[in-house]
Structure 1
Amino acid sequence: MLVASSNALSNDKGKELHKESCITCHIVEHNNTFYTRNNSRLHNHFDLRKQVSNCVNAFNINWLPDEEKSVVNHLNNEYYDFRK
């Protein structure tokens, strides 16, 4: 039970961080179609982690490793469902 509530809090934090730091930089609407489009460069969980990390570094986003992980988890839970 404790793990489930911890995962939910992490996902909520990831959603909040994503909204604050990611959506504002992209011009297109961030919806299911954006994340699951046919020409996506993301094909697995590693690609997703790498892309989030690339954005964090490129835009000097000051996230702690746990915050970056929570954004990856949010995106994976909400849109991708990649195996870890």
Structure 2
Amino acid sequence: MKVKIFMAVAMLGLLSGQTAAADEGKVLHDESCIACHASRFNGQAEQMYTRAERKKNSYASLKQMVAFCNNQVGTGWFDEEVGLVTDHLNRTYYKFPKP
């Protein structure tokens, strides 16, 4: 019985860690990306990600675009933060298989 309880608690800990990372990617995105994208699309920032002619075709190309924007805008994100934002965008809009 103690083993089952321990395993349940351990799984909850893993899931909460994944949720925290997912939330961090969204926070970084919302703080650094939304204003620019919304200004380009009449307040509809999500159009940056959903319009057919701009949609990326792989997780790798999406990550390259996030890294490009990071450099252009000067957010100063580290690779881990670029990954968190990429994961957020992928989960929310793109649904590419992650390598």
Which structure's residues are more often helix, by fraction?
A: 2
Corresponding residue for residue 87 of structure 2: 73
**Counterparts of 1:34 and 1:52 in 2: how far apart (Å)?**
12
Give the deviation of 1:41 after TM superposition: 4.3
Structure 1: tracts of 5 or more residues without a match: none
Corresponding residue for residue 75 of structure 2: 61
Q: Which has the higher contact order (CA 8 A, sep 6+)?
A: 1
**Counterparts of 2:96 and 2:35 in 1: how far apart (Å)?**
25
Task: Find the residue that maps to 1:25 and give its secondary structure.
Answer: helix
Corresponding residue for residue 50 of structure 1: 64
Aligned partners of 2:49 and 2:55 also within 8 Å: no
| TM-score normalised over the length of structure 2 | 0.75
| TM-score normalised over the length of structure 1 | 0.87
Runs of 4+ in 1 over 3 A off after TM superposition: none
**Counterparts of 1:71 and 1:41 in 2: how far apart (Å)?**
16
Q: Deviations over 1:21-40 (max 9, x none)?
A: 00111212123x44122112
- Seq. identity, %: 36
Aligned partners of 2:25 and 2:86 also within 8 Å: yes
RMSD value, Cα: 1.4
How many residues matched?
83
Give the deviation of 1:70 after TM superposition: 0.7
Give the deviation of 1:62 after TM superposition: 1.1
Give the deviation of 1:10 after TM superposition: 0.9
Give the deviation of 1:64 after TM superposition: 2.0
Q: 1:48 to 1:34 in 2, by over 3 A?
A: same
| Larger of the two Rg values belongs to structure | 2
